[in-house]
Amino acid sequence: MDMIETLHEVSTATITSQLIKQGGMRTRAVRGVRPIDPARFRFAGPAVTVRYAPMREDLDGLASIGHPDNPMTKAIETMPAGSVLVVQAGTMQGGALGDVLIARLVARGVAGVVSDGAMRDIAAAAGLGLPVFCAAYTPNPSAAELIAVETGGVIGCGGVLVYPGDIVVGDGDGVAVIPRHMAEKVAEAGLEQERMEAWIRKRVEAGEPIAGLYPPGEATLAAWRAHKAG
């Protein structure tokens, strides 16, 4: 099982716990975003970044998604299959993506989308099958408030610093961003934590008290190791 496949089995709650344990990182959960389709929210993949800035009216042409130099257009047409589009928007008044662009991302095999701003065409976009997280909905196009100014740079999305290639994971709790150099260890330790906590939960459901069981003390850890050994 490769790292991305492993992360599909690890919750964002476990990932954020592992980031604290392994690196003291407490700022890796994207704030204020929710999936546009509550039934479709699971994804994992490397980040491709786009940064927006406040619109300036004499740049209407460049702001158009039809302009070949538009950074969002470049990102959509070049990002690899399996990657995650992560957008720094900075406002809730312009929708960075709508159903047509999301349909293009689906066709290109993109794993997911995260924006700390707004999206539009929500009803149609939610039916396209792509996990999309955002902070708000709006009827406005992005150029009402925003202009895409960069792809492939370092951004801040929902209070989280995101480098291109960082590993982004989404689930029902939200979105977590793993620094690329930590992703393998977080995935491995996270899967171990998931399996141990499932075993602990069964013991709790059977009536055991949590003292020494959760969080696991030395006796519980020894029992877990024996359980794994068969």
pLDDT per residue rounded down to tens, the chain (230 residues): 799 999 999 999 999 999 999 999 999 999 999 999 999 999 999 999 999 999 998 998 888 888 889 999 999 999 999 999 999 997 788 899 999 999 999 999 999 999 999 999 999 999 999 999 999 999 998 888 899 999 999 999 999 999 999 999 999 999 999 999 999 999 999 999 999 999 999 999 999 999 999 999 999 999 999 999 98
Q: Where are the domains of the chain?
A: 29-178, 185-229
What class does CATH assign to 29-178? alpha beta
Contact yes or no for 103/121 (Cβ under 8 A): no
C-alpha 21/C-alpha 35 separation (Å) is: 27
Question: What secondary structure letter does DSSP report for 52?
Answer: E
Residues sharing a CB contact under 8 Å with residue 55, sequence separation 6 or more, in sequence order: 63, 94, 143, 144, 145, 146, 147
C-alpha 57/C-alpha 136 separation (Å) is: 24
CA 102 vs CA 52, 99, 125: distances in Å: 17, 5, 7
C-alpha 142/C-alpha 64 separation (Å) is: 9
Which H or E element spans position 128? none
C-alpha 125/C-alpha 37 separation (Å) is: 9
Residues sharing a CB contact under 8 Å with residue 225, sequence separation 6 or more, in sequence order: none
